[in-house]
Structure 1
Amino acid sequence: MSEEPTLKKQKRQTPLILSASTRATAINWKDPEDTSREFSSSIEPWIKLAKLAESGKFHSIFFIDHLSWFDVYGSSHESSARTGINVSRIDPTAALSALSLVTDNIGFGVTVSSVSEHPYHFARRLSSLDILTNGRVGWNIVASYLPSVGPSLLNGEPLPEHDERYNKTQEFTDAVYSLLLSSWRDDALVYDKINKIYANPDAIRPIDHKGQYYNIQAPHITEPTRQRFPLIIQAGSSPRGKLFAAENAELIYIHNTAKTHDDIADIRHAAQKYFGRDPSSLKFIISVTVYVDKTHEDALKQEQLVKDLQDEESAFVYFGGKSNIDVKPFEYDEPITFKGKVNGVSETADNLTNSDKSKPNNSKRQLYETQLRKKSKYVGTASEVADLLEEAIKETGADGLNFQQTSFPSGLEQIVELLIPELQKRGLAQTEYTSQKGTFRENFFGNKGQTFVSKDHPVHDLRWESGVSKEEFEERLSKTIEIRNERRKTALETLEK
């Protein structure tokens, strides 16, 4: 995407940004001691997760979510049901209000797809979440990739092609920006009991969104929130996804692969070149799975237990859901072939085609043995794992870590009890939150008082600030959108070349 994919490493933030991810069920749900199944049936494990992560001074909980079944493998939901891959699921946003009551500082990065609902409805939900959590919400913007979204949410129409999904997602996001930032002036809510004025009608305007997918000519129905807009998160790895991140994201979740450093440099370069952003203002967290214990041998036993409880069907269901490639028709050692671009996560398919050539023919055997049962990089005592994580940060140029759940609660408990103190001792993990009872953005950037996006962010001037007349704001808004559209056009044209 960029002309300089090896852009000079940005100075990383110290301490590291730490996030704990969630899953529908943990990888190791078959372990008799694992209780992750209860995430789908009770609020209690969510509360335990939030309290535990906050006790470790994590910046956030990263709520992973998918809208529908992983039903590519065998063209059916049956294997997903049998293996427990991506099922069952509750809406994670439903838990946030409860979690905000039992915690004070940790942020909640919640995944919500642009195909899940109309942007006007979602804007109200997003504002509501930010209000009820007192400004501790981030929105992980995703375009969805599961083909089962078509029958379940798109009236039976097929899932749009990859780049078209991003076009729709950008328009969806633009509409939400307008509703939260450009409809109510900061001081629109008056609440004047003496003069009997609740809100100043001259400080509330309908947005004027006329796009390919949505037409919204109405004011937002919810008052401005403490953050004005939640922390903006993104997790795309394709060229189009990286361009979307370069324009929009404050936090990017990225898989830890051999090309992570170049991907990070690529996004930072694009952010600066096309959108005028300070590349160091984009923060990256890499995915890590750790097995940490008091002795190296005990950590190895943890890892081996997870491997022993994995099965091939689970691996193939997961791969199919991520890549949109059904490997069921292939024999075990038959080469897996597919034509053209996949309509799922391109990185997942790339891992198959670029995998270990010493194994037979990119087959199901190779997929299972080298891709989905591969040895974890981060196994050992707290000191050993900290060494490995520190090296990973140096190699990738990332700003933090997103810890994947293997078993719950034991996996996170050992990270908090053993690994976090070691990272804190090295200055790699915070010992306290920057802003007590602060917003997600304040604690994320380590800057008390930064409740809104930085001045160089493309949406900064979409905000209708106090005291600015409607006429003055709309004149400025028109220029801001014109500049944004021109920059976006240039970036897309360059990408297409």
Structure 2
Amino acid sequence: MAPSASTSGNGVKPAKKQLKLFAFEMGCSGLQAPGLWKHPKDRSRNYNTIEYWTSLAKLLERGKFNGLFIADVMGPYDVYNGPANFEAAAISGAQFPTLEPSTVVSASAAVTKNLAFGLTFATIAEQPYHLARRLGSLDALTQGRVGWNVVSSYLDSAARNLLNGEGLPPHAERYERAEEYINVIYKLFLSSWSDDAVELKDGVFTNPEKVRRIDHEGKYFKVPGPAVVEPNLNQRLPVIIQAGTSSAGKNFAAQHAEVVFITTFSPEALGKQIKDIKRIAAEKYARPEGSIKFLQLITPIIGATEEEAEAKYKEYQSFGDIEGAQALFSGWTGIDISQYQYGEDITAVGTNAVKSFLELWNKKAPGEPEHVKKTREHVARQITVGGLGPVFFGTAQTVADEIERWVDISGVDGFNITYAVQPQTFEDVVDFLIPELQKRNLFWDEYPEHADGSPLTFREQVFGDADGRSDLGFVAETHPAHKLRWRAGETKDEFERRLGKKRKLEGGEDEK
């Protein structure tokens, strides 16, 4: 049995919640800091080299990070000054161009032992059969260190290229498609091969009686199967991650997610989002407390003194690209911010959609008063450092205090830490912030291991044995994928009868 990620090396459970820490990255320059590729210490322009990712992975493992979360977009931000105008994104390098996220995993995994990888793939991008093969391959090669961040996509520029020139489907339809998509993924991973299908004895590599078609026929997909990747018994199914707090997104997370990534500007707003998803999970899907972990995006700016940190922030902001920031804002919200004058208070003249977004925007720069007029220029300047998330600046002690405050108020389980300047931001976190968190017993000192010295899987790292699941490497019994696993020793007929019986009890149709 794997040791709990929530226990210290001597087996004594700490009084404080130990945090989950992930680095938030993307195959691009700048990410949440448009224009900072121009900073003399920034190396994010080298995102398209193997060395960039292997050195980052080694740095994160030195800091004992849980993992590397790799975001993705599949088209340029082209709403600003639009429609279909990607000039600002191109000039500023605002998440354009980009690399496909899975391409960096094998090299990064080869130079690390414990670091997990959360990969973003959109359900409009490719057939689930193909994604299952890619995810299964990566999870096998990393011995269970992979998770899938399920997104339904939000950029028309991506949809036009992925859906034969068609625009992005309506929001509700995207989630309906995502629901069917993830169920196909579950079936391919769990119901196509039994745990003991690969026998390697008596001249038999795979026993064909332990492999079956899934014969999925739905509204969006027809997938006969079987899957072509053998079961990875380390964790059997990659960790399911979700990011999105719309009504449909919360419902999807409550049913399927093991990790939820949220971005808000205050711990109070974050706590409300977490409570909403937990409530839906418990009331609608009978998923108990602790079955979903929550992460919040932050950008730490750390100095030896408060004054040094403030000076760093202002220096970084001076390199920010205002046009690129507006391209990002318009892409994130779907609202072309160029329709407003620079000095206009957008919350006074904006549409209901942009007003509701900016009502939650209480991001502050050093020395800024509490209530600032939310003009187009102000919002853009705030985006240049930290993007869509808050910036925690100060000494390592001050930043750790702010992290504790957010945890105490919101109940969040951990943080996705992104950079202003790469790799300096991550180096400061590893060298100064993490030791301070360790001193406060908020973060582990070493990666836990199995009794034989082998590393934990992504799922074991995140959950340990804290939620009482019987199989630490697999989803909890209350997760919808749990019942779909074809177990060792179960014949094909026995499995199909069990699967059919469960589907009848739930009011669904039997699989063919």
What TM-score do the two structures reach when normalised by structure 2?
A: 0.86
Is the alpha carbon distance of 1:228 and 1:251 closer, same or farther for their aligned partners in structure 2, counting shifts above 3 Å?
same
The alignment status of 1:277 with 2:287, answered yes or no, reads yes
* 2:80/2:336 contact within 8 Å kept: yes
* SS of residue in 1 equivalent to 2:328: helix
Structure 1 counterpart of 2:184: 175
Deviation of 1:45 (Å):
0.9
Structure 2 counterpart of 1:304: 314
Matched letter for residue 419 of structure 2: Q
Correspondence for 2:240 among 232, 236, 248: 232
The whole-number CA distance in structure 1 between the counterparts of 2:507 and 2:270 is 29
The whole-number CA distance in structure 2 between the counterparts of 1:252 and 1:49 is 23
Deviation of 1:68 (Å):
1.1
Is the alpha carbon distance of 1:57 and 1:141 closer, same or farther for their aligned partners in structure 2, counting shifts above 3 Å?
same
* 1:434/1:442 contact within 8 Å kept: no
Q: Which runs of 5+ in 2 are unaligned?
A: 1-13, 363-369
* SS of residue in 1 equivalent to 2:38: coil
Task: Deviation per CA, 1:384-419: give whole Å up to 9, x if none.
Answer: 111111011111111111111111111000000001
Deviation of 1:188 (Å):
0.6
Correspondence for 1:402 among 410, 413, 416: 416
Structure 2 counterpart of 1:154: 163
Structure 2 counterpart of 1:31: 39
Is the alpha carbon distance of 1:403 and 1:482 closer, same or farther for their aligned partners in structure 2, counting shifts above 3 Å?
farther
Give matches, 1:314-393, under 5 Å: 314-334=324-344, 350-352=356-358, 363-368=375-380, 377-393=391-407
Give matches, 1:12-161, under 5 Å: 14-23=17-26, 24-26=28-30, 27=33, 28-39=36-47, 41-75=48-82, 76-161=85-170
Correspondence for 2:475 among 453, 457, 461: 453
Q: Which runs of 5+ in 1 are unaligned?
A: 1-10, 342-347, 487-497
* SS of residue in 1 equivalent to 2:337: coil
Give matches, 1:191-210, under 5 Å: 191-192=200-201, 195-210=202-217
Task: Deviation per CA, 1:430-484: give whole Å up to 9, x if none.
Answer: 1111224221111222349711111121110110001112122112223434566
Task: Deviation per CA, 1:7-53: give whole Å up to 9, x if none.
Answer: xxxx99831111111032221222011000101x2011101111111
The alignment status of 1:469 with 2:491, answered yes or no, reads yes
Matched letter for residue 141 of structure 1: V
The whole-number CA distance in structure 1 between the counterparts of 2:377 and 2:383 is 10
Task: Deviation per CA, 1:340-361: give whole Å up to 9, x if none.
Answer: 86xxxxxx7732355579666x
Correspondence for 2:460 among 442, 445, 463: 442
Is the alpha carbon distance of 1:355 and 1:260 closer, same or farther for their aligned partners in structure 2, counting shifts above 3 Å?
closer
Deviation of 1:89 (Å):
1.0
Aligned residues: 466
Structure 1 counterpart of 2:6: none
What TM-score do the two structures reach when normalised by structure 1?
A: 0.88
The whole-number CA distance in structure 2 between the counterparts of 1:452 and 1:182 is 14
* SS of residue in 2 equivalent to 1:155: coil
* 1:288/1:404 contact within 8 Å kept: yes
* SS of residue in 1 equivalent to 2:260: strand
Is the alpha carbon distance of 1:457 and 1:330 closer, same or farther for their aligned partners in structure 2, counting shifts above 3 Å?
same
* SS of residue in 2 equivalent to 1:74: coil
The whole-number CA distance in structure 2 between the counterparts of 1:311 and 1:118 is 37
* SS of residue in 1 equivalent to 2:426: helix
Deviation of 1:306 (Å):
1.8
Structure 2 counterpart of 1:491: none
The whole-number CA distance in structure 1 between the counterparts of 2:42 and 2:322 is 20
* SS of residue in 2 equivalent to 1:164: helix
Task: Deviation per CA, 1:292-316: give whole Å up to 9, x if none.
Answer: 1222221112111121112321121
* SS of residue in 2 equivalent to 1:73: coil
Structure 2 counterpart of 1:256: 264
Correspondence for 1:480 among 487, 502, 506: 502
* 1:256/1:288 contact within 8 Å kept: no
Q: Which moved more, 1:374-383 or 1:463-472?
A: 374-383
* 1:323/1:349 contact within 8 Å kept: no
